[in-house]
Amino acid sequence: MIARTAHPAAPAHAAALWRLLQATAGVVQGVTEGRSATPLLERVAHAERAGTQALAFDVLRHLGTASALASRLARRAPTPAVAALLKTALALAARSGTPPYTEFTLVDQTVEAAKRAPALRRQAGFVNACLRRFLRERTALLQAVQNEPVARWNHPAWWVAELQRAYPDRWKAILNADQTPAPMDVRVNARRLSAPTYCERLARQGVRAWALGASAVRLAQSLPVQALPGHAEGDVSVQSATAQRAAPLLLDGLDVAAPRVLDACAAPGGKTAHLLEFCPAARVTALDVSTERSCRIRQNLDRLGLAADIRVADAGRPADWWDRTPYDAILLDAPCSASGIVRRHPDVRWLRRASDLADLAAQQDRLLHALWPLLSPGGRLLFCTCSVFPQEGDERIAAFGSRQADAVRLPAPGHVLPLAPDAAPAVGDNAPRDGDGFFFALLRKELR
């Protein structure tokens, strides 16, 4: 499993920096061509993967600035491979705060990376000249690009405009939060231990952590998943504290001893597992359209010693899989832009297009209307997305409610925004400000 919370500082590794820069440039080129960073990183040699991920995430968080700088430094557009290497170095050299490498080391190793790649060798001098010019003219160049929204905020212009429209008083705070690595949160298996108990277990190993409610724990620093005590035994799972709000929202106070629950769009199974841990008597159907991703659900449940009825099908076509028995509760974690989790997935901002929001909203509407008839009278449906855009949250629920007379909206957080990090969350704080961006709407079907 690739951890998605790597720190941008230079990682401890044995691989030469020029190798990491080559691999990072390959990831950056793939993302600019429309490919997800996750499979690109999975193809990097294991010995270089952690270092490459740390650098790639840092570069992707500063890709807007780097692209604007590259366009000023190069009179002619270089080949995609050369452009990716140049932007990689510029992003690392121009980032605020303490750079991960000295200027001399970064330039030297970037040129070395070009010299050692057959497709880039002839452009090593060009790369060297661009980087040395940047170092000479750093202040003027950085001031010049700050007038460009993409360079200033390191998000696409349409993304910035959407946030300005939706959150006129908080859009800057959201964009600034997106530039910080996400904290590492875990969910303890409440059937086995409590969050405070797990914090004590971590403390004995020299790891600082805080309990965020009954099952959520936040680590002061990220660890490899394999290093989490009790992970292999099923005592704990990696899941953001914000995402952990779904299961209690849906099931807490549901007056059914052994509820029949549907987790639609369930892969990779984190929320499915939490539903079962929160309510051991629940009879859960976990549904996903992808066979490969459904295998991840089973793997995660097996590790935790849990069981669900796992099915591969389109949640929007119940006739293909539903047995006509109503559900007491439905969790619809709908496909969305993932705009609320760009701290964990910094490539998302560069992969999405403005037109995606309308397409995703239509898909969310389709799923809501397809699943509502499957809910028993008095039952609940929790609609959630890991998005900060109102088109994938409040606007969807308002549109659904205007057409569905028997849907009653119950108290729920609505849009949860990723804002400035807290130095240390208070013990028992259920909603730390520096979590992921999410939307939660809880609906009850009226009795008739």
Q: For 265-312, what is each residue's pLDDT tens digit?
A: 999 999 999 999 999 999 999 999 999 999 999 999 999 999 999 999
Which pLDDT score is estimated for 249?
97
Mean pLDDT of the chain: 92
What are 286's strand-pairing partners?
263, 310
pLDDT higher than 90, residue 446:
yes
Does residue 433 surpass a pLDDT of 60? no
State pLDDT tens for residues 58-96.
999 999 999 999 999 998 889 999 999 999 999 999 987
Q: What three-state secondary structure class fits 262?
A: strand
- Give the CA radius of gyration of the chain: 23
| 3-state DSSP helix/strand/coil % of the chain, to nearest 5 | 50, 15, 40
The pLDDT value given to residue 109 = 97
pLDDT at 431 over 60: no
Say what the pLDDT of residue 97 is: 73
Active site (catalytic) residues:
386
Band (324; pLDDT cuts 50, 70, 90): very high
Q: How confident is the model at residue 430 (pLDDT cuts 50, 70, 90)?
A: very low
pLDDT at 224 over 70: yes
Statement: residue 429 has pLDDT above 80: no
Domains, the chain, ranges and CATH? 17-154 (1.10.940.10), 183-239 (3.30.70.1170), 243-445 (3.40.50.150)
Give dist(CA 85, CA 66) in Å, integer. Answer: 11
User: Which parts of 220-281 fold into alpha helices (H)?
Assistant: 246-251, 270-278
Q: Is residue 419 predicted with pLDDT exceeding 70?
A: yes
- How many other C-beta atoms are found inside a 10 Å radius of the C-beta of residue 64? 24
Mean pLDDT of 149-176: 97
Output the pLDDT for position 2. 36
